[in-house]
Structures are given as C-alpha cells and as structure tokens.
Amino acid sequence: MVDLFQYGPKDATVQSLTTLGVIAFLSSFLFFFLDLPSLLLESSDSFSSTWIPSFLVLLWRIICFGVCVGAIVYMFRMKSGQMFVIMHATKEEKLVHPLGIEKFVTFSSWTLILNTSYFFLAIMFSLSGFVDGTLPEWLLGSMVGVFAMAVGSAFLTSTIVRFVILPGELKKGRNHERQFWFHNQIMHNFCAIFLVGEILLCQPNLAPEFMLFGIYIGLFYALFAYPYAKYGGGYYVYSFIDPRLQYAPFLLSGLAVLVSTFYLGVWLMSVLLSKSGFIGAILFIAWVMLIVQFRSELSPEDEIITL
C-alpha cells in the first residue's frame, strides 16, 4: 500500500510550488473569463430573507458574529495551547504549545476567521438596508466571495475533524478533551451550523462558479504553510501540508479541490432548497448533524493523559 505521507529520495518542494503556481494562474484566468465580479454582484442581492423580518436576520447575524469574535478572543486569552505538529527540521511529530497569534496557523482557525469576516460583512449589508444605503460593489462582491470560502472551509473542517482527526485520537487513546473546548466547538461545529442557518434564512442565489473561491483559500493556506514552517514557527500543523513529501503536489492541490468540492455540495443543496424548501432544509440539517460532534466518545478513565 502506498504511503502518501512519505518523503521521497528527492525534495519535492519545487514541484509542489510549481503545481500551486499553475493552479493559481489557471484559477485567476477563470476568475475573469467567467466574469466572476458580475456574478458576485448579482448574487449579493439575494443575501436577504424573503420570509422573515429583516431585523431578525440582522439579529441572527449579530449573534453569529459575536460568538465567532468571542472564540477568537478566547483563543488569544488562553494561556496555553496544545498541538501535535510535524517539525520542519526533523520531519518528526512533536507536541507544541502555541500562544496568541500562533494558534491561528491551523486551517480550522482560518475557517473561524472567514466566518467572522462573512458575518461582519453581512451585518453591514443588513444595516445598509435599514438606512436605504448602498454598499460599494467591491464590498458586496467580497461578502459573497467570503461566504463561498467560508462554506467550503467549514464543511471540510467539520468533516475532517469528525471522521479523521477524532477517530485518530480515539484509536490512540489520546486525551483530546481540548477538541471540545469552546473555541474548537465553534471552529469544528458551529461555523458550519451558523452558515447553514444563514442559508435556510436567506436562501441566497449561489453559483457553481463560486467554487473558485474554495480553490483560492486552499491555495492560500498551502502557500502559507511552507514559509511559516521554514522561516516562522518551524512546523507544519498537518503532515500532508509539507511540500517536500513525495506526493505533495497532489496532496496540496487536493486541499484546494476538497474545499471547492464541499462548496459545490452546498450549492447543489441550495438548488434543491430553492425547489423544495422542506426537503432541502431537512437534508441540510441532516448533513450538518452527520459531520458535527460535541463530545468525546472515549471515557475519561480510558484516555491517556498527554502532557
């Protein structure tokens, strides 16, 4: 069986970065070829509800934004963190204790930032409707683009945590109570829940072309990880993100593809929601329930205490 996370006889960094560069060039070309700015602006008009009062939508967005900000503040105020990472120099796993801004190097923390950014922009959009104002086109487009990135990232994060990370911790008998602390609950569970709530309330008119934003956020993170590991923190949060791996070009591009794929899944569900509100809502709720987990399946007495 092929080990996807093995290091080959040669460093694959050049091939990995070249692959990401080609994907970035092609996706940038498609951004203008598909006239995404116009599609974003057209879609922005649908980010308001037609079936509940506008002030309730605004209240919902304020609550979601407040919870996300609370999670960010909580992460900064925590006196210690805990992550198992891959060291750039030794290529070995190590337990580190990040502090402050260092906690925001995980993809799930980027998901939290995207959610926070979206709800901030959505609040501005709601408020503009109350005062009969008009937001700049670039701001409206940004709101929709950030939403697309947030949706793809949130569903990918919840799925990976639920079906990969937590089972891995369970198999090792490793203490993973930290995975269910407040900020992790928001990143791993409530980001997806909040965005589904937004979709059910507003039923925005999404476009399949917005999958490009999933590719963008995947590329940004992959391109961020290498300089951070080599010149910054000295480690990779995830083993697959090391561009030196033999199959790194496929793994890194796979991250971008996965985010965009989850966005496409949400888009398909939104189309169904527009055709049948009841069935669409049930399936959205069922999907979210499938990928979230709020507590450990390992009893405290069976856990190995990791210091």
Mean pLDDT of 52-58: 94
Share of the chain above pLDDT 70, in %: 95
Q: How confident is the model at residue 285 (pLDDT cuts 50, 70, 90)?
A: very high
* Interatomic CA distance for residues 109 and 150, integer angstroms: 11
pLDDT per position as a tens digit, 130-160: 877 788 999 999 999 999 999 999 999 999 9
Q: What is the pLDDT of residues 232-245, one digit of tens each?
A: 899 999 989 999 99
Give the global pTM: 0.93
- The yes-or-no verdict on residue 304 having pLDDT over 60 is no
For 182-208, the pLDDT digits (tens) are 999 999 999 999 999 999 999 999 999
pLDDT for the residue numbered 83: 87
pLDDT at 70 exceeding the cut of 60 = yes
Average pLDDT over residues 23-33: 96
Residues 6 or more apart in contact with residue 189 via CB below 8 angstroms: 158, 292, 293, 294
Distance of alpha carbon 206 from alpha carbon 36, whole angstroms: 12
Cα dihedral sign, 154-160-165-171 = positive
Structure confidence at residue 37 (pLDDT): 96
Give the whole-angstrom CA distance, residue 84 versus residue 143: 34
> Which residues lie closer than 8 Å to 41 by C-beta, 6 or more apart?
137, 140, 141
Relative orientation angle of helices 277-291 and 191-202, to the nearest 10 degrees:
180
Tokens of 105: 């190097």
Give the model's confidence band at 166: pLDDT under 50 very low, under 70 low, under 90 confident, else very high. confident
Burial of 2 (0-12, 13-18, 19+ CB in 10 A): exposed
235 strand-pairing partners: 87
Confidence band, pLDDT 50/70/90 cuts, at residue 177 = confident
Give the other-Cβ count within 10 Å of 138's Cβ. Answer: 11
